[in-house]
Structure 1
Amino acid sequence: MLASVVVPTYHRPELLGRCLDALATQDLDPKIFEVLVVDDAASPETRRQVEAVAAAARPAIRYLAVTGRHGPAAARNAGWRAARGEVLAFTDDDCIPVRGWLAAGLSAIEGGASAACGRVVMPLPDVPTDYQRNAAGLASAEFVTANCFCRRDALESVGGLDERFSAAWREDSDLHFALLRAGLSIVRAPDAIVVHPVRPAPWGISLRQQRKTLFDALLYRKFPDLYRRRIRPVPPWDYYAIAASIGLGAVAAGLGHPRVALAAAALWALLTGRFCARRLRGNSLELRHVAEMIITSALIPPLSVFWRLYGSWKFRVLFL
């Protein structure tokens, strides 16, 4: 068994079926690789779905339910540790690996590299929403678990993925940084392509996503230099300025200083308006989307600052 493909999933049967169909048609001898579907929900329906596909398709497809700690990092750890392949290939249930994906990834590390990162293609409409454009940033990321390949000994040497990253955020950067710190070789695999359509998102999704910022604090605690060099060279001072103007205005109003309160409100309006305009530039100007941008632009900065400070406290690190 040369390779094992690990696919974490969570209550997404249609997307999982699409991904498995793509993996079943890889242009590689099905006898030399397997697919492990790691179910973070331990769902009987998903088990039945995978078993039905496995009975009718090659390569070998196995179902694995996650027990204990949950999240994508924990699911991927459970998958690669149960796998039989010498090379572990990771993708997600909402991705569509092209026909030559696995062969190209294996070819990239044949020369002795410890890991490789493929290419993610995220089609966008001509005029995207702010969420769609942000999500498409995955396509330009340096290393993502939606499309990467690691030798087993490399994963063992860094201890796999850090399961404290319990959401789909920064767990791939953490693995990337761990491999770099260990001095292991990572190469690009530009022909190993997965198509990653941007899934529909509910109104105000950007507000829920602010919670993920606490995992930036964890990553910064572990790899401060790499974080500053490769992810965010400076803190988001505009967020802090907006949050500070809110606090200053509230305190001034409470202490009976209306001029200071008005000045703080004017500063907040200026900074928030500029932030909103930046999010709308080049994106959809449909009324519903514009309304969403106005409301969420007022709420994102204080929410982000809260989660950054909470992450600092939770992980005992000064993270601005």
Structure 2
Amino acid sequence: MTTEMTRETNAASPGEPHRETGPAVTVVIPTIGRPSLAATLAAVGRVHGHGPEVIVVDDRPGESLEPLTVPGRVRVLRSGGRGPAAARNAGWRAATTPWVVFLDDDVVPGPGWARALTDDLARLPDNVGGSQGRLEVPLPADRRPTDAERNTAGLAGAHWITADMAYRRTALETSGGFDERFPGAYREDADLALRVERAGFSLVKGERLTRHPVRDDGFWSSVRLQRGNASDALMRHVHGPDWRVIIGGHPGRLRRHALTTGMGLLALTLAATGGRRRRLAAAAGLAWLGLTAEFARARIAPGPRTPEEIVRMAVTSVVIPPVACAQRIAGEARVRTGTTGRRS
């Protein structure tokens, strides 16, 4: 059954205070129409014949779209393809419950998730603004994980990610919700968590379990992930140079990528001039080759080392450094020129 609904408002009579209605928790799931959404919705479940209100935010761009196929109890909004931050904002602002839990459209809540969510949120003191579910990433048991699988597995130890993150509505209202200048599903959740904490709320880990299956996003998936470097520029602008330390992140490889890219550009420039600079060009080229080989080796060594994986790592290790640098430069430029988009 397909349900297509627009945002509803609960209008109070003049002079009457607004009253929250509906269940205690609303589940908000932004989606771009991935087939995995069906499994996510099926796993949310019900308790004693009643389940949390579920709002799916259709973030596919365009107007003439086939409606999403969802169960009849699911409410569907459209956000116009403005990204997951904007989609989540549309979802929680349409909800009327004191708690809103955000799920991604490619996770599968574990058995009894709805009941466990209720237990996680019950009797939390007012100063607790959010509760994160435990995230499990199933990996192959018969071989070493690939580079892409290891990247996904890293989510299991991440803090305050919206794969399964419940927020108190007052915390969302006080912090202003998600910053819609973050265009993709990267750092927008860490940014919100930092602002919620700065607003005086604490965040805790719950006991409910959600699984994040690993999916194959294609040969170039690791290259596409470099778009996140632009979001890192915005994080630095908003939260200062120590933002990685605050969120418990690792330093990353951007500086080494910059050195690798610089050596490659230097080698090409010197080679083009010819003459006596050819030796310098060769030296710069060898430096580029060594740095690239080190990067590829670091990615190949812990993996299954199949021919397909080795080729993928070798090719993408050449492409990633300049793409990462270009994305960071673009992000810095947008921050400095004020063209990062609108703040929610």
For normalisation by structure 1, the TM-score amounts to: 0.89
Aligned to 1:313: 333
Write the distance in 2 (CA, Å) between the matches of 1:184 and 1:249.
52
Whole-angstrom distance in 1 between the partners of 2:181 and 2:116: 31
Name the amino acid aligned to 1:298: V
Looking at structure 2, the residues matched to 138 and 279 of structure 1 have their Cα atoms a distance apart, in angstroms, of 18
SS in 1 for 2:36: helix
List per-residue Cα deviations over 1:95-114 (Å, max 9, x = no partner). Answer: 11113323333433432111
Q: CA distance change for structure 1 residues 101 and 111 in 2, over 3 Å: closer, same or farther?
A: same
Tell me whether 158-167 or 108-117 shows the greater mean CA deviation: 108-117
Find the counterpart in structure 1 of residue 254 from structure 2.
236
Please tell me whether residue 123 in structure 1 is matched to residue 142 in structure 2: no
Q: 1:248 & 1:93 partners in 2: Cα distance?
A: 44
Q: Which of the residues 148, 169, 191 maps onto 2:165?
A: 148
The reply to whether residue 226 of structure 1 matches residue 243 of structure 2 is yes
Q: Map Cα deviations across residues 127-173 of structure 1 (whole Å, 9 max, x no partner).
A: 22111111221111011101111010000000010111121111111
Q: Give 1:63's aligned residue.
A: 76
Code of the aligned partner of 1:65: R
CA distance 1:234–1:208, shift in 2 (3 Å): closer
The question of whether the paired residues in 2 share the 8 Å contact of 1:86 and 1:151 is answered with: yes
- Take 2:211 and 2:66, find their aligned partners in 1: how far apart are those partners? 26
Structure 2 residue 220 is matched with structure 1 residue 204:
yes
> Following superposition of structure 1 onto structure 2, how do residues 281-300 of structure 1 map, counting pairs within 5 Å?
281-300=301-320
Structure 2 portions without partners, runs of 5+: 1-22, 338-344
Tell me, in whole angstroms, the C-alpha distance in 2 between the residues paired with 1:75 and 1:271. Answer: 40
Do residues 187 (structure 1) and 204 (structure 2) align? Answer: yes
1:249-275 CA-to-partner distances (Å, cap 9, x unmatched) read 122223330110010111111111111
Structure 1, residues 111-131: CA drift from partner, whole Å, max 9, x if none?
211111111111111322111
Residue 181 of structure 1 and its aligned partner are, at CA, apart by: 1.7
Structure 2 match to 1:178: 195
**Over the residues paired in the alignment, what is the CA RMSD in angstroms?**
1.9
Give the direction of change, closer, same or farther, for the CA distance of 1:30–1:213 in structure 2 (3 Å limit). Answer: farther
Q: Secondary structure at the match of 2:259?
A: helix
Shift, 1:83, TM fit: 1.0
Per the alignment, do residues 298 and 29 of structure 1 end up closer, same or farther by CA in structure 2, a change over 3 Å counting?
same
SS in 2 for 1:315: helix
Alignment partners' CA distance in 1, 2:239 and 2:112: 34
User: Contact 1:276–1:297 (CA<8 Å) still a contact in 2?
Assistant: yes
Question: 2-side partners of 1:46 and 1:20: how far apart?
Answer: 16
Aligned residue among 28, 31, 39 for 1:6: 28
Cα shift at 1:308? 0.9
Q: Please, which runs of 5 or more residues in structure 1 have no aligned partner?
A: 55-59
State how far apart, in whole Å, the 2-side matches of 1:264 and 1:214 are. 27
**Secondary structure of the residue that 1:192 maps to in structure 2?**
strand
Task: Report the Cα offset of residue 45 of structure 1.
Answer: 3.5
In structure 2, what is the equivalent of residue 22 of structure 1?
Answer: 43
The letter for the 1-side match of 2:262 is A
Residue of structure 2 equivalent to 1:247? 265
- The question of whether the paired residues in 2 share the 8 Å contact of 1:11 and 1:43 is answered with no
Q: Secondary structure at the match of 1:216?
A: helix
Aligned mates of 1:243, 1:194 — CA distance in 2 = 39
Question: CA separation of 1:98/1:46 partners in 2, compared to 1, >3 Å: closer, same or farther?
Answer: farther
Quick one: which of 129, 138, 161 aligns to 2:155?
138
Paired with 2:199 and 2:279, the residues of 1 have a C-alpha distance of: 56
Identity of aligned residues (%): 37
> Would the aligned equivalents of 2:235 and 2:243 in 1 still touch at CA under 8 Å?
no
Matched to 2:249, the amino acid is: I
**Using the alignment, how far apart are the partners of 2:117 and 2:176 within structure 1?**
22
The CA distance in 2 between the partners of 1:188 and 1:35, in whole Å, is 22
Q: Does 1:268 align with 2:309?
A: no
The offset of 1:242, in angstroms, is: 0.5
Q: Would the alpha carbon gap of residues 298 and 32 (structure 1) be closer, same or farther in structure 2, given more than 3 Å must change?
A: closer
Could you tell me how far apart the structure 2 residues matched to 1:228 and 1:253 are?
41
d(CA) in 2 for partners of 1:30 and 1:153?
28
In structure 2, the partner of 1:213 is 229
Q: 1: CA distance between counterparts of 2:49 and 2:329?
A: 49
